[in-house]
Amino acid sequence: MPLRLIRALLTSLLILAISACALFPHRDPLNINVVGIEPLQGQDLELRFAVKLRLQNPNAEVINYNGVALQLDINDRQLASGVSDQQGSIPGFSETVLVVPVSVSAFAALRQALGLTQTQTLDNLPYVLHGKLAGGLFGTMRFSDSGTLSLPPSVYGNW
């Protein structure tokens, strides 16, 4: 192949790649926050919770989703994880609350209990929530939220 043809081909590919990026609209990320945790019925050595998430769409476009996955870390240790095949949409400039069931194995609960210091209580525990909101080939959004949470006595009274 002549060198000119290779250069022309590479230049065309570069222009095509740059213009393809312009086809995808720029969206601001969703604001996702934990707004509640409630106990659910578990199985044998497992604890289950319903994690309530507030999803806020700061964009004019509707955001469609078809599943969500979560991982909840407390004190820098994984405590719970969960998935849901819920489907829906969040209209532009609006919000919704999504409830996702998560599971805590007895071993994860034991690791958490052993990691607590003598003076630490179950109030104001640092948490990090990682997750993804599935939305098709290019619509999946990963998110993270962190802060502190206090577990109600009805939750840890079952341990």
pLDDT computed for residue 91 by the predictor: 95
Report the pLDDT value the prediction gives residue 23, as an integer from 0 to 100.
60
Q: Is 136 left (phi over 0), alpha (psi -120 to 50) or beta?
A: left
Tokens in use for 28?
């601001």
Domain that holds residue 129: 27-156
Q: Which two tokens stand for residue 109?
A: 């609960």
Would residue 15 count as lying in a domain?
A: no
Q: If the chain, 159 residues long, is cut into consecutive pieces of 10 residues, what is the mean pLDDT of each piece? A: 78 73 69 89 89 93 92 88 94 96 84 64 80 82 84 53
Number of domains, the chain: 1
pLDDT at 2: 76
Q: In CATH, what number is assigned to the domain containing residue 86?
A: 2.60.40.10
pLDDT at 152: 57
CA distances from 24 to 27, 65, 82 (A): 9, 17, 30
pLDDT at 109: 74
Residue 33: its pLDDT value, please?
87
